[in-house]
Structure 1
């Protein structure tokens, strides 16, 4: 499984944060398949395609990131969700972990932290990611 096999969706209402995450990930050959600047757009993305990894902002104006996390985990429990937040409040971290988040990045973030977290998640979540990648390939081969 290569970094290019893993489709990543970035969800953040802050344009700069989204742009920085995209740049950091793509500079290391990760496959960023899309961006969403709000919760509604993120849910639309999830309805069209299920990415293997979602980098998800916790606080957004329309739909809370924890609610989006819940939706993602209901439709695709294997999807790896990395929460991105400007706050490290204990109750938010606990809710996200209980909700199925695989990790956290606290803003402001630096490239080394993002890549370390992403590589750690890939190692830790190898089997679910491989399952999702194989499922996507199977769908493509069958014409979906």
Structure 2
């Protein structure tokens, strides 16, 4: 099975904290991942997700308008194969259980440790290789047909 090229994996970052978004983007870009978009609110994220379905979403749990858990449920309804990593400053057991039941693929704990963040992303890419390949192929086909 051929390996996925990191540049083909579209990653979308959703976090209301500008510094967190910037750090995530910087760490991912430094490792040749393709950050295809960002949103600073749940409303903006849902609006963006209506137009494009990324392969991976780094999704903040706590946001002022729409919770990350609600956005997670929406993503999984629209695209069950999209890998969603919940970004959280809290390790509340209740939140973790809710997120896993809603389909979260993993967690990234703030403050970010670049090595741990990349380990989580790489683990998710390896574990979800087949689904990601399908999503990448779908996005490329949509681009070719003008749907994106």
Report TM bin, short chain. over 0.9
In 2, Cα distance between equivalents of 1:47 and 1:131: 19
Structure 2 unaligned runs (5+)? none
- What residue number does 2:86 align with? 83
The question of 1:57 aligning with 2:68 is answered no
Superposed CA deviations along residues 4-50 of structure 1, whole A, max 9, x for unmatched, are 00100000000000000000000000000111000000001100100
Structure 1 unaligned runs (5+)? none
Kindly tell me the number of residue pairs found equivalent between the two proteins. Answer: 144
* TM-score normalised by the chain length of structure 1: 0.98
In 1, Cα distance between equivalents of 2:141 and 2:108: 32
In 2, Cα distance between equivalents of 1:31 and 1:44: 20
- What residue number does 1:17 align with? 20
1:143 deviation in Å? 2.7
The question of 1:105 aligning with 2:108 is answered yes
Segments of 4+ in structure 1 off by > 6 A? none
The question of 1:67 aligning with 2:76 is answered no
- What residue number does 1:141 align with? 144
